[in-house]
Amino acid sequence: MSAFLPKSIQELIEEFSRLPGVGPKSAQRLAMHLLRTPRVRVQALAGAISGLQDGLRFCNMCWNISEEELCRICADPMRDHAQICVVEDILDVMALEKTSEYHGTYHVLHGVLSPVDGVGPEQLKIDALMSRVRGEGSSSFEIILATNPSLEGETTAMYLLRLLKPLGVRITRIARGLPAGGDLDYADELTLSRAMNGRAEYV
């Protein structure tokens, strides 16, 4: 980093660089953009960032982000509560909701199985999912496995299949409308719609 820059700018660039997908050049451009931005907008941004986690929590049912015990999706009586779409991350919920094709509920795992990275079942919200499914006790229940089509995503889906199958619930996997190795939050609405509508029995 250029030594001639004031310390406050250097620190801001360093913090931006820690964000996912932001390289050193992008961090510098963001810092310079904020330097030219009116103070009132910078203060509004700072306030939004500093208060980001205030009043937020995870939904008691699906582990999506929420302001109440239940998120808006789980609390909505118009949603199909006999369907649970299991996803890796909150961004995946956002991506699927944009399609307006799915009207059930979700369960956010907060990651995938990855022994190399030290992520096992204990680090994910798998126990919460199992408790939720057992609590329903309905053979008409459908679990949609919507983990990403990566090696880790497929491993996680297979692991969940082995756990869920003895419970007698219907288990489906989203169709291959998504490219192998791709992420849900980068897919367009049409691709996600086809993947959701073309899901098949997972055996």
Per-domain residue ranges for the chain?
A: 7-50, 78-201
| Domain at 7-50: CATH code | 1.10.8.420
Whether 175 shows a pLDDT value over 70: the answer reads yes
Q: Which amino acid is at 141?
A: F
Kindly state the percentage of the chain with pLDDT values over 90. Answer: 55
Q: What's the rounded mean pLDDT across residues 92-118?
A: 93
Q: What's the rounded mean pLDDT across residues 136-152?
A: 82
Q: Work out the pLDDT band at 185, boundaries 50, 70, 90.
A: confident
Q: Euclidean distance between the first and final Cα of the chain, in Å?
A: 53
Distance CA 182, CA 152 (A): 12
Q: List, in order, residues 6 or more apart from 72 with CB less than 8 Å away.
A: 66
- pLDDT tens for each residue of 5-52: 788 888 889 999 999 889 989 999 999 999 899 999 999 998 888 877
Kindly state the percentage of the chain with pLDDT values over 70. Answer: 93
> What is the reported pLDDT for 97?
94
Q: Work out the pLDDT band at 64, boundaries 50, 70, 90.
A: very high
Strand order in the sheet with 80-87: 104-108, 80-87, 142-145, 170-173, 200-201
**Three-state helix/strand/coil letters over 131-156:** HHHHHHCCCCCEEEECCCCCHHHHHH
> What is the reported pLDDT for 9?
86
- Model's pTM, two decimal places? 0.74
The fold of the 78-201 domain, in CATH, is Dna Topoisomerase Vi A Subunit; Chain: A, domain 2 (3.40.1360)
> What is the reported pLDDT for 201?
78
Angle formed at CA 64 by CA 102 and CA 174, multiple of 5 degrees: 35
Distance CA 160, CA 171 (A): 10
> What is the reported pLDDT for 80?
94
The mean predicted confidence, pLDDT, of the chain is: 88
- Residue whose token pair is 């582990």: 63
Per-residue b/e over 166-177, b at no fewer than 16 CB within 10 Å?
A: ebebbbbbbeeb
38-42, 116-120, 189-193: least confident range: 189-193
Q: What's the rounded mean pLDDT across residues 96-111?
A: 94
> What is the reported pLDDT for 3?
65
- pLDDT tens for each residue of 154-163: 899 999 999 9
Greater confidence (172 vs 52) lies with 172
Same fold, 7-50 and 78-201: no
Q: List, in order, residues 6 or more apart from 198 with CB less than 8 Å away.
A: 174, 175, 176, 177
Long-range contacts of 25-31 (CB under 8 A, 24+ apart): none
Whether 73 shows a pLDDT value over 80: the answer reads yes
